[in-house]
């Protein structure tokens, strides 16, 4: 008989706070993969899974069907997954038609490192914890469970934390109890049915609970893989690596659909998509190294030659040129003003005449008044990437080729024409700020009253590439000062979107860089 595993994902994941605002709790990332992937992949490929869907259940279904097309899933939709009448037991009862055989119950926020036994007998998993107050507990005597206690009730050396993992061999007896239990079973969940079983074995596990923020952080640290990509987290986006596939997620359907269309627009430079859903797309993992890890000056020279091919300029009609400049104005000025305003509101700061690293600064608004936005909007229309920095560029030694990743979905609404200067500015912004060094905490920033002091580590090779890039821009006839101004605006834009205190560093760096560019 084929093994079946029941994984309920219907809950809202309220204990994870903002992390489940845009995704289901089973899709929260751990080591660049959803928690659900870690659960699925610990079972043989012929295992069949019964998934209870509720809160953002469409995203769970999309992910599983895209990531594991060769696996078997049965989906049970839970229409009432929060509020009065909801509960884990309700999710289980919705799964009942698919579980008329011995099966495993596995909570979607339970990770264990040991092999999981088959449901050849009734058993429950437990782990040692200093305090049992937050957990339902099992009383274990001679490797058997003799009692199941509610949260806060289990005490003494014979009680252990129950981890939301169980083997249910006597399924008919289990379901009879769940049905008879009615509202009590709905609230108690699988524990209600388990109490009706006899001879329950107890199995000890090394357990990582991913259901609350503190425990999730521990799990992320434990599951971190050496050499994994450094991906700065975004609330409504994610990049997941599943086997040899890469899956990009965004909660915005137009974001994904435009990305898919853009992949056709720049097809010779990006991976070919192999699967698409409303909120995700998939492509085969590209073999290569992130450019920031392997770049040297000869390779950077080769990269710039490749960029010159990619940045194909486009001739526009008069009306198209007017529309392009309007998009640039909106993208540079209007969006920057909105983002800076968001930064002040979100982080309770205000525009001022701070001293930054010992240099007296005017207000940011006065610098914006001095900036010639009209001239800045006269960009170079052409083929663009939109998020063009080393972390989104792979170099393959075997293929002797560059591959561009994580391209922007549009430029001010246009899928085919963007400002080439913006790509150049994104490249410079990544040469100055290393994602890897930031992720490892190699920076400092202090904002006290009217004084800001900041510093950050830099890679010597990226600094050398920055100098070479500046010389290349001038040799090719591009406006290097314009690139630096746009780079400053990029830092100011993204300051509102990142975590503290990195957000303060971005704001201070952007403001000081804009001041220096205007002074030049």
pLDDT digit string, tens, across residues 301-353 = 999 999 999 999 999 999 999 999 999 999 999 999 999 999 999 999 999 99
Per-residue pLDDT at 233 exceeds 70: no
Q: Are 50 and 2 in contact (CB under 8 A)?
A: no
Percentage of residues in the chain having pLDDT higher than 90: 87
The helix/strand/coil state of 131 is: coil
In this structure, what token pair is assigned to residue 141? 């005597």
How does pLDDT run across 175-214, given as a tens digit for each residue? 999 999 999 999 999 999 999 999 999 999 999 999 888 8
CA–CA dist 328, 374 (Å, integer)? 9
- Per-residue pLDDT tens for 71-115? 999 999 998 888 887 899 999 999 999 999 999 999 999 999 999
- Which residues are registered as beta bridge partners of 51? 7, 75
Tokens of 468: 């070479």
What pLDDT is attached to residue 225? Answer: 83
**Cα-trace Rg, the chain:** 27
CA distances from 159 to 56, 261, 520 (A): 35, 57, 71
Judge contact between 166 and 125, C-beta under 8 A. yes
Eight-state DSSP code of residue 331: I
- Domains of the chain plus CATH, in order, are 4-223 (3.90.550.10), 287-519 (3.90.1200)
Determine the number of helices (DSSP H) and then strands (DSSP E) in the chain.
18, 26
DSSP string, 87-120: -HHHHHHHHGGG--S-EEEE-TTEEESSPPPPSS
Query: Mapping DSSP to helix (H, G, I), strand (E, B) and coil, where does residue 504 land?
Result: helix
Q: Which residues pair with 409 in a beta bridge?
A: none
Candidate from 214-228, 302-316, 439-453 with smallest mean pLDDT: 214-228
Which residue's structure tokens are 């940011």?
364
pTM of the model: 0.89
**Residue keyed to tokens 């083997």:** 167
Q: Could you report how far apart the first and last alpha carbons of the chain are, in Å?
A: 75
């Amino acid at each position: 008989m084929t093994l079946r595993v029941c994984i309920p994902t219907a809950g809202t994941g309220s204990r994870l706070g903002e992390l489940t605002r845009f995704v289901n709790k089973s899709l929260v990332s751990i080591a660049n993969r959803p928690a659900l992937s870690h659960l699925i992949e610990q079972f043989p490929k012929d295992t069949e899974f019964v998934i209870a869907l509720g809160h953002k259940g469409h995203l769970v279904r999309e992910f599983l069907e895209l990531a594991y097309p060769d696996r078997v899933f049965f989906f049970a939709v839970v229409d009432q997954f929060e509020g009065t009448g909801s509960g884990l037991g309700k999710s289980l009862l919705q799964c009942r038609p698919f579980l008329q055989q011995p099966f495993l119950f596995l909570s979607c926020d339970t990770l264990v490192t040991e092999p999981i036994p088959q449901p050849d007998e009734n058993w429950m998993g437990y782990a040692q914890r200093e305090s049992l107050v937050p957990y339902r507990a099992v009383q274990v005597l001679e490797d058997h469970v003799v009692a199941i206690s509610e949260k806060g009730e289990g005490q003494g050396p014979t009680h252990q934390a129950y981890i939301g993992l169980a083997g249910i061999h006597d399924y008919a007896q289990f379901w009879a109890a769940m049905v008879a239990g009615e509202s009590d079973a709905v609230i108690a969940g699988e524990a209600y049915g388990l109490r009706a079983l006899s001879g329950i074995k107890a199995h000890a596990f090394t357990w990582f609970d991913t259901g609350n923020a503190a425990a999730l952080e521990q799990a992320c640290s434990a599951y971190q893989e050496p050499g994994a990509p450094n991906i700065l987290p975004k609330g409504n986006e994610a990049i997941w690596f599943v086997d040899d596939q890469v899956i990009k997620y965004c909660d915005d359907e137009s974001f994904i659909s435009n990305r898919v269309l853009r992949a056709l627009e720049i097809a010779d430079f990006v991976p070919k998509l192999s699967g698409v859903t409303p909120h995700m797309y998939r492509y085969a993992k590209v073999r290569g190294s992130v450019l920031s890890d392997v770049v040297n000056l000869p390779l950077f020279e080769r990269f710039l030659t490749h960029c010159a091919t990619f940045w194909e300029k486009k001739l526009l009609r008069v009306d198209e040129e007017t529309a392009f400049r309007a998009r640039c104005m909106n993208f540079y000025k209007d969006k920057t003003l909105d983002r800076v305003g968001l930064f002040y509101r979100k982080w309770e700061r205000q525009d001022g005449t701070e001293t930054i690293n010992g240099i007296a600064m005017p207000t940011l608004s006065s610098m914006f008044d001095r900036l010639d936005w009209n001239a800045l909007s006269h960009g170079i229309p052409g083929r663009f990437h939109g998020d063009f920095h080393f972390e989104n560029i792979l170099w393959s030694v075997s293929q002797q080729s560059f591959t561009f990743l994580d391209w922007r979905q549009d430029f001010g609404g246009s899928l085919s024409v963007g400002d080439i200067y913006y790509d150049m500015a994104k490249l410079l912004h990544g040469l100055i700020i290393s994602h890897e060094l930031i992720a490892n905490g190699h920076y400092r920033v202090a904002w006290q009253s009217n004084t800001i002091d900041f510093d950050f580590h830099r890679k010597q090779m990226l600094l050398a590439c920055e100098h070479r890039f500046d010389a290349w821009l001038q040799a090719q006839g591009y406006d290097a000062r314009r690139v630096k101004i746009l780079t400053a605006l990029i830092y100011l834009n993204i300051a509102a979107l990142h975590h503290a205190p990195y957000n303060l560093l971005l704001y201070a760096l952007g403001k000081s860089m804009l001041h220096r560019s205007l002074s030049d």
